Amino acid sequence: MKKIIQHLALATLFIIPVKIYCASNTAAVAPLLQFRSQGQDVARDLAGMTQIVNLFDQDCINGTVCMTAEYTRSFRPQRLAQQLFGRAFCDTNCSGAIINVSGSRVANRGPRDWLADNFYLPTDFQSTLKFSPRIANVVIDMSGYIGLDSVAQGLFVRLDAPFAWTRWDLHYCEVVTSTGGNPTDDGYMSCSPIERTKLLTNFSQFANGQAPAQFNDSSFPADTITFDGLCNAKIQNCSHSLATLADLSLVVGYNFVERQKYHFGAGAKVVAPTGNRPEGKYLFEPIVGNGKHWELGAYFTGHAQLWECQDEDASFGLYIDATLTHLFKTRQRRTADLINRPLSRYMLAEKFTTPAVGLTGGALSASAIVPSAQFAREFTPIANLTTQDVQVSIGVQGDIAAQFTYVQAGWNWDIGYNFWGRSCERFSSCSTDCSSSSNCASTCSSSSNCPTQFAQNTWGVKGDAYVFGFPALGGGGVGCTALSATENTATINAGTNFAATGASSSTLVAAGEPNPGVDTKQLAWTSVGGTQIFAADGVTQINTSIDPILIKKSDFDFAGTRGYSHKLYTHVNYQWVDVCYKPYVGIGGFGEFGSNGGCVSSCSAASAATPCSSNSASSSCVNAALSQWGVWAKFGLAFN
**399 bridge partner residues:** 323, 420
Maximum alpha-carbon separation in the chain? 106
**DSSP track, 547-590:** S-----GGGEE--EEEEEEEEEEEEEEEE--SSSSEEEEEEEEE
Whole-number pLDDT of residue 630 = 98
**602 bridge partner residues:** 620
Whole-number pLDDT of residue 360 = 95
Whole-number pLDDT of residue 27 = 65
Whole-number pLDDT of residue 618 = 56
Whole-number pLDDT of residue 526 = 92
Q: Are residues 499 and 106 in contact, defined by beta-carbon separation less than 8 angstroms?
A: no
Report the amino acid identity of residue 545: S
For 98, 121, 344, 476, the CA distances from 493, given in Å and listed in that order, are: 14, 14, 9, 32
pLDDT in tens, 157-207: 999 999 999 999 999 999 999 999 999 999 999 999 999 999 999 999 999
Cα(425)–Cα(538) distance, integer angstroms: 53
pLDDT in tens, 213-261: 999 877 776 678 999 999 999 999 999 999 999 999 999 999 999 999 9
Whole-number pLDDT of residue 91 = 57
Whether pTM > 0.85 for this model: the answer is yes
Q: Are residues 216 and 195 in contact, defined by beta-carbon separation less than 8 angstroms?
A: no
**DSSP track, 319-351:** EEEEEEEEEEEEEEEEE-EETTBTTGGGSEEEE
Cα(288)–Cα(247) distance, integer angstroms: 9
Q: Are residues 558 and 617 in contact, defined by beta-carbon separation less than 8 angstroms?
A: yes
Cα(183)–Cα(114) distance, integer angstroms: 19
- Of the candidates 424, 447, 442, the residue with the CA atom closest to the CA atom of residue 432: 442
Q: Name the stretches of the chain with pLDDT < 50.
A: 1-25, 431-448, 452, 474-477, 598-616
- Of the candidates 25, 116, 28, the residue with the CA atom closest to the CA atom of residue 348: 116
